[in-house]
Structure formats: structure tokens, C-alpha cells
Amino acid sequence: MTEIRAQDGTVSAAFQSALEVIRRSDPRIADAISSELTDQRESLKLIASENYASPAVLLAMGNWLSDKYAEGTAGRRFYAGCRNVDTVEALAAEYARDLFGARHAYVQPHSGIDANLVAYWAVLAQKVESPALAKAGVRGVNDLGDADWARLRADLGDQRMLGMSLDAGGHLTHGFRPNISGKMFDQRSYGTDPATGLLDYAAVREAAREFRPLILVAGYSAYPRLVNFRIMREIADEVGATLMVDMAHFAGLVAGRVLTGDFDPVPHAQIVTTTTHKSLRGPRGGMVLCDDEFADSVDRGCPLVLGGPLPHVMAAKAIALGEARRPEFRDYAARVVDNSRALAEGLLRRSATLVTGGTDNHLVIIDVSRYGLTGRQAESALLDAGIVTNRNAIPRDPNGAWYTSGVRIGTPALTTRGFGTAEMDEIAELIDQVLHGTEPAPGKDGRPSQALYRLKDGLAEHISGRAAEMLAKNPLYPEIDLP
């Protein structure tokens, strides 16, 4: 963000004027927007899925591009007057292809979940619907007779997916019942080796051979190690599955060339989905990259499962992808991982227990049962001390998915603020002190509670004071000055 910092006055003025205009319409909304900046500035944000987008990314979203309907894709719209949206979407897609070395990029998904739905339906269209249409000798679904249509609908709903289990770090959208993917697909999951905590490729292969899924999903939101996508593709090929990698969490590390070779999903997977707001540091949104084989089907995402594209967000995606193509972003991605390692080492040195014993990426999972706490208690105590994290299940979690036994922390956001490895060690110290200084408190009935806790007197104030000093040294959006 160095380049933007040079234009101090301009950036400040832009946000000040925007807020003034909003204030005239609804002061309470203007206040909430200003107040969010203060909250973000004053919290030590270790939420692994969050970041801070640049002022240019933020400003690209607040304008009249939002007023345009643009169903279809660049140059092939169902609405007239889309020339500027075409420019925006074509540039965002070009930057995405270039940045990730992808054959095709679809930048319309509104979020990561939407990107996954687009991808799943693209695979179903290619591998189930198209053959059925060919067999019936018709061009489109409207040409099928009632019996053929009924059979196709049944077939679309009778496909299999193999994905990473939730407690090993997989995502709800990888075929779990509370999400639509679990209602669409018959899902089975693979996990990690109980001894090492690492992804067990032999077990994935065995499950794939036995289950023969249509789609093998790789990717995670809470696994602190690397995944070898070359091996995952070999497994998928062996059983005729399509490999889809959901890189929502680690797209920034791929863009920043920290994850290369076997660990870069793009050359190995037929389809790669992502969010744009996590480590990639763009606007809240999603994206699909794919091989030529799936390009046409992926492009039908809207209106198949997506509402009209958000042209203002596509503009912000283009800005963010452009930023990620610069050399500074490689430096950023490398620092994210250096910081994550330093944080893990700092915690281990203070005798914390970490899932898999450490990290190779941007996130760390602390097993807080070592401190006699549930994830819920640890998360709340840390928040009292000004440290924002989120609780997370650990493999074979005895406390289930609600209370959990883990806390997930990640470094993309603080690295954007300028935090370095020495500060990560200090944060490890603060986390360790909070967790040591917290004990479970009994519930109303006197029995141990999974949610209630007690922090040592004065500890929260002491820790948040030290956190505030670190935050002051690494100001957020120093180029933005609100009155």
C-alpha cells in the first residue's frame, strides 16, 4: 500500500466526503461505518479468513456500476448498455488468468459459497446433463420429454462427492448436510492421520477407489499444512473424478507464489474456486478458474445459480487482482507465512499444543484443551483481552462443532498492517498469558460449563494495553483520517 500512502490527502478526502454524503441521508449508518473503522483499528485481528482491502478496492465498490444489470458474460449480455461492465469484467478475468496462470476465469460469483455452487453445477452439466442431452439427441433441457427430464433430474441428484472432513479443516460447502452441497450430493469425507494430523493421501486414494465420486474436492478453511494437488489429481484421474480445489483461504499464497509446483492447485485441478476477500485481499466475493472443458458451463453460473453480477464488486476485484500482480504482493504473501511460522513457534515455545504441531501456511490451530478450556471459552477470553480469533473444531473434537476444542488464528490481516515476526512472538506471549489466566467457571447449576469462564483480575486490561501499543505502531489505513 506504499504507493497509495503517498496520496494521503486524496484518500482521506475521498472517504470524508463519502461519509458526509451518507450522513445527510442517514447519520446512524454513517456512524456505523465510521465506528467500524475504529473497531478494526483497535483490534488485534487474528481471524484467518479476514484481511484489509486497499482504499482503491474499497472505493471501486461505492459507485454507480452497482446500478447496472449485466446477466451474461462480457460481450454476450442479456441486457443492453453493458459496455463499461464489459470492460470491468473482461479486465478482472484477464488479470485473474494472468495472475494464476489459468485458462479461464469467471469473476461473477458473489461469494465463495456461490463460486462452489457454480463449479458443482458446471461439473454436473458437463458430466451428467450433456451426455443425457446427447443421448436423447436434443440440444437443450427444454427439448427433453417428461420421462427423460425426470430421469435426468434424478441422475443430477444422485451423484457423489468426496471432500475433506469438517473437523480436519474442510468447509461446509464440500458436501455437508447443513449446506446445499450435502443435500445435492451423496458425500463421503476423508480426514487426517490421527498420529501426525497430516492429510492421509493413502486413505484419500482408498476412499476414492471405493466410493468413486464424480467430484473430488480438495481445499480447506482450517488445515495448517500444505496439500499436494498433484497427488490429489492423480487420485481423481484414477477414479474418473473431477478435481475441484477450493482455495478460498490460501488464494493469496498462490497469487504471491508461496505455494508453487505441487502445492499450486491451478495447474493440477480442472476447477479452482476461491473467495477474493481472504488472503487475496480483495473485495468480498468469489471467483472460479477452470480448464477449457468447463469454461462454457462455468460461464452459465448466472442466472443458473447466481443473481445478476455485481459490476462494482467486479471492478474492485480487478483492482485487487491488479495489486496482487505487483512484486510487493509476493513480498506480502511471503511475510504472511513467515509471520504464521513465527506465531506457531512462539506458541510452541510457550508449550501450547498445535494441531499438526505447527504450520506451513497462513493459519495455526491451537488445541486449547491443554489449558483446560473449550474453544468457546478461549475465544471469549481472548476477545475480552482485545484479541479477535475464532473457535474451531479440531480433528475428532470431543466438544463438537459448537463449543469445540480449538482456536484458529491467522496472519493475513496483521501482515497487511505491517506486523513482523518479532511482534508475532509477542502475540504468542499474550495469547499464552490469556489462556493460562483463564479458567472454566461453573454454570448456574454448579456444574462445569463449556461456555462460562473467568479471567484473572486485571489480565484483560493488561493484555489489551500491550496489544494497543502494537496496534499503534502498525496503524491501519494510515492514509485515512476521519474527523
Ligand X SMILES: *Cc1c(COP(=O)(O)O)cnc(C)c1O
Which residues participate in the annotated binding site for (6S)-5,6,7,8-tetrahydrofolate?
166, 170-172
Distance (Å, whole) CA 454 – CA 442: 9
Q: Site for ligand X (CB under 6 A): which residue of 19, 82, 113, 199? A: 113
Amino acid in position 396: R
How far apart are CB 362 and ligand X at their closest, in Å?
Answer: 12
Q: Which residues are catalytic?
A: 69, 71, 246, 275, 278, 284
67 three-class SS: helix
Q: How many residues in the shown chain lie near ligand X by CB under 6 A?
A: 14
Asked if 270 is part of the footprint of ligand X (rule: CB under 6 A), the reply reads no
Asked if 359 is part of the footprint of ligand X (rule: CB under 6 A), the reply reads no
Distance (Å, whole) CA 318 – CA 56: 10
Which phi and psi angles does 405 have, rounded to 5°?
-125, 10
Asked if 272 is part of the footprint of ligand X (rule: CB under 6 A), the reply reads no
Burial class (CB in 10 A: 0-12, 13-18, 19+), 107: buried
Distances (CA, A) of 129 to 7, 140, 276, 290: 53, 9, 30, 19
Asked if 54 is part of the footprint of ligand X (rule: CB under 6 A), the reply reads no
Asked if 408 is part of the footprint of ligand X (rule: CB under 6 A), the reply reads no
What residues are designated binding site? 166, 170-172
What is the contact mask toward ligand X in residues 329 to 358, using x (rule: CB under 6 A)? ------------------------------
Asked if 173 is part of the footprint of ligand X (rule: CB under 6 A), the reply reads yes
* Residues 463 and 433: beta-carbon distance below 8 Å: yes
Asked if 323 is part of the footprint of ligand X (rule: CB under 6 A), the reply reads no
Q: Site for ligand X (CB under 6 A): which residue of 74, 248, 313, 319? A: 248
Burial class (CB in 10 A: 0-12, 13-18, 19+), 381: buried
How far apart are CB 314 and ligand X at their closest, in Å?
Answer: 15
How far apart are CB 390 and ligand X at their closest, in Å?
Answer: 12
* Residues 162 and 187: beta-carbon distance below 8 Å: yes
Asked if 112 is part of the footprint of ligand X (rule: CB under 6 A), the reply reads yes
What is the contact mask toward ligand X in residues 282 to 311, using x (rule: CB under 6 A)? ----x-------------------------
* Residues 318 and 91: beta-carbon distance below 8 Å: yes
User: Across the beta sheet with 185-190, what order do the strands follow?
Assistant: 104-106, 286-290, 271-275, 242-246, 215-219, 159-164, 185-190
How far apart are CB 115 and ligand X at their closest, in Å?
Answer: 8
The residue ranges that bind ligand X (CB under 6 A) are 49, 111-113, 171, 173, 219-221, 246, 248-249, 275, 286
